[in-house]
Amino acid sequence: MPEVEMKIRGLMMDPVTNMPVVVLKDVGGETVLPIWVGIYEANAIALEIEKITTPRPLTHDLIKNLLIGLDTRVHKIVVSELREETFYAVIWLEREGRIISVDSRPSDALAVALRMDCPIYVADDVLKASRQASANGERVSQEELRKWLEGLNDEDLGKYKM
């Protein structure tokens, strides 16, 4: 299945739901994909964007330490599915020549990707489904948010921008 490489463009609060949103942007274009995440995962992503170290390892730091300790490489993470307004992701690992796929919430996969410095991809089907859901009016506010996000500049994203 074709995938589009994305980068984390920033992290912000959705003014409507007051929930954190990770903004992914197509590396080679203008496609924007907002993914709503939990407060704790947003915090883990923000800490890594800002390169803030904590006195003790948090969950995603522990995962990084385990992967490195087990001599496991993270090839990529893929936001692989959008089902009933919920995103799904897969973390692709390699250990001793074996490829291993691990089911993950996108927020956790993104936090791991930042720590392991690996590429982030979104399945083409997910981008199409996200646009389709917006077009069908399932979430009118999502399409409005998407248009608003596409028009944002670095200052608008606040301190959690990349």
In a domain, 158, yes or no: no
In a domain, 9, yes or no: yes
In a domain, 157, yes or no: no
**CATH for 55:** 3.10.690.10
pLDDT by position in tens, the chain (length 162) = 799 999 999 999 988 888 999 999 999 888 899 999 999 999 999 999 999 999 999 999 999 999 999 999 999 999 999 999 899 999 999 999 999 999 999 999 999 999 999 999 999 999 998 877 666 654 445 566 666 666 666 655 555 554
Alpha-carbon gap, residue 68 to 72, rounded angstroms: 6
Q: pTM of the entire structure?
A: 0.84
Alpha-carbon gap, residue 108 to 38, rounded angstroms: 10
In a domain, 161, yes or no: no
In a domain, 67, yes or no: yes
In a domain, 96, yes or no: yes
What domain count does the chain have?
Answer: 1
Range of the domain at 55: 3-150
In a domain, 12, yes or no: yes
Say if strands 86-95 and 98-104 run parallel, antiparallel, or are unpaired. antiparallel
